[in-house]
Amino acid sequence: MGSLWSSLKVPENDTFRFVDTVILGAGVIGLSTAYQLALAFEAAGKTRTGNSNSRGPKIVVVEPAKHISPGASGTATGGLGDFGFGTETAALGKLSYITIQATADKFNGKTVFGYSDQAVYRVTPEGFTETPKPPNDWGPGPPTDKPLSDLPDWIEPKKNWTVQLLAGAPHGAHLDPGLYCKFLYEESKKLGVHFIFNANVTSVNAHPALKLFTSVQVQKYDGPRLTIWCRSIVIAAGPWSGRVYSSLFPQAKAKFQLNSIASAGNHFRVRTPGWKPSDDEQGSKQVFLNNVTPNRKGLDITSFLGGSLYVGGFGAIPEELPEFAEFVKAQPSEIEEMVKLVKEYLKMNADDELEIFDEGRCYRPYATPNHPIITQVDWGLLGIDTSPNARPQEQHTDVLPNSSTKSCSFTVGGLFLNTAHNSDGMTLSLGSGKVMSELLLGLPPSVDISGLGLDEAQKIRLRL
């Protein structure tokens, strides 16, 4: 059975005993899953014991990089909204947006992770007759015509432009993705979540008859191999999720496909020309320039609190997704072209130089069909022997039902996927984490996610 059958050793210390769930990936979706599941465990513990300090089973997050959010999560645009989703995702989008708003209210989001309202504008040339980008049905309602003076002060408007407001408060908001991921990480640690960085899960072990896992093997790149007992595994590795799945379950009867070549985009940030602290009172502004750029090249600019602008939407020269997130670098030729282009639209003197920082390139976890995958994978599709003669690869009574430590084993066990959020990972983060925690606990999800599973084609044939 390939990676499913490995020689194991007893966990070296109690940190890795009695673990319930292992989450693969410490991007925004993995962090959100850990945070929401830890909150659910804590709430269940309080209900069960009446102890306000009670904590539930252990959660371990394994991340190949040396730090959290090494991929797109830490350097994304940061836009949030309750609009712009497909039919299958709309309810989840609204749930997540409300949850992020409530979290920002509770934890002083403006200070902690740069949370603010956001207004989203689109500019088009006069007499424009083509289909605009973003389209008219993208926002929470029809676009509203606005005067040029409504554009943010850092934009240099052209006389032949028309301006449309696509979204604003209470439907649109913004946060700093890097600070937000740090917040989720710190709060998860406070709730008892354990993180292992610079490491990779190399194999899993299962109890086929009970359809749950018993442990995983973790290889640290700078240390020894670890054994972690667990019953549930969540793959939340962003664009690397398909590779992780195929590596751990090579005999699986179903695999999902993520675009590993053409789903990336270059970006950079600049200091906002003429910014002053009082500007933050206006919140974030995003301007889509796609319809006025030469050849309608993608370009959008988003303001962050604190006086910086995020320039993105430009795309990238197609390259295969590398093995590790740290290997994803900005493409100098594309950045150079973006800088030249953005200077045409920023209000600055001819001899001013842009203060550029945080250059990078993000791969989005883009699936076919294009919607998130938030589901429990049928055990029979994993390629694990479930015949009557199949024996458990190992047995730890503390991860099995009806044991003396049942109070430490809340989740139903099995494999779960929380990935393929494309460019909506930030705004779908806490909602995705919440419904995933509900799936793990065997509870009905807060919103309908029946359209976010593996489609029938993926269940029937291998897609590599």
pLDDT given for residue 389 in this prediction = 52
Helix orientation angle between 429-440 and 90-106, rounded to the nearest 10 degrees:
100
Q: Is residue 284 domain-shared with residue 218, that is, in the same domain?
A: no
Give the residue numbers spanning the domain of 192. Answer: 2-72+178-259+368-460
CB burial of 294-311 (b: ≥16 within 10 Å; e: otherwise) equals: eeeeebbbbbbbebbbbb
Q: Is residue 345 domain-shared with residue 380, that is, in the same domain?
A: no
Domain boundary among 341, 363, 385: 363
Question: Residue 392 maps to which CATH number?
Answer: 3.50.50.60
pLDDT given for residue 323 in this prediction = 94
Question: Residue 304 domain-assigned?
Answer: yes
Q: Residue 359, SS3?
A: strand
**Model pTM score:** 0.91
Question: Residue 295 domain-assigned?
Answer: yes
For 402, residues 6+ apart whose C-beta sits below 8 A from its C-beta are none
Question: Residue 211 domain-assigned?
Answer: yes
pLDDT given for residue 50 in this prediction = 54
Q: Is residue 289 domain-shared with residue 437, that is, in the same domain?
A: no
Domain boundary among 328, 363, 398: 363
Question: Residue 296 domain-assigned?
Answer: yes
pLDDT beneath 70, residues of the chain: 1-15, 46-56, 385-409, 456-464
pLDDT given for residue 2 in this prediction = 37
Instruction: State how many domains the chain has.
Output: 2
Give the integer Cα–Cα distance in Å for 114 and 108: 9
The sign of the CA dihedral 122, 76, 282, 357 is: negative
Give the integer Cα–Cα distance in Å for 62 and 23: 6
Would you tell me how many other CB atoms lie within 10 Å of the CB of residue 356? Answer: 15
Quote the tokens at residue 438: 């509900």
Give the integer Cα–Cα distance in Å for 439 and 187: 22
- Write the DSSP symbol of residue 264: E
Question: Residue 88 domain-assigned?
Answer: no
Question: Residue 183 domain-assigned?
Answer: yes
Question: Residue 94 domain-assigned?
Answer: no
Q: Is residue 140 domain-shared with residue 280, that is, in the same domain?
A: yes
The residue whose two tokens read 């645009």 is: 77
Q: Is residue 357 domain-shared with residue 219, that is, in the same domain?
A: no
Domain boundary among 344, 363, 382: 363
pLDDT given for residue 345 in this prediction = 96
Question: Residue 357 maps to which CATH number?
Answer: 3.30.9
H/E stretch holding 243 reads: helix 241-248
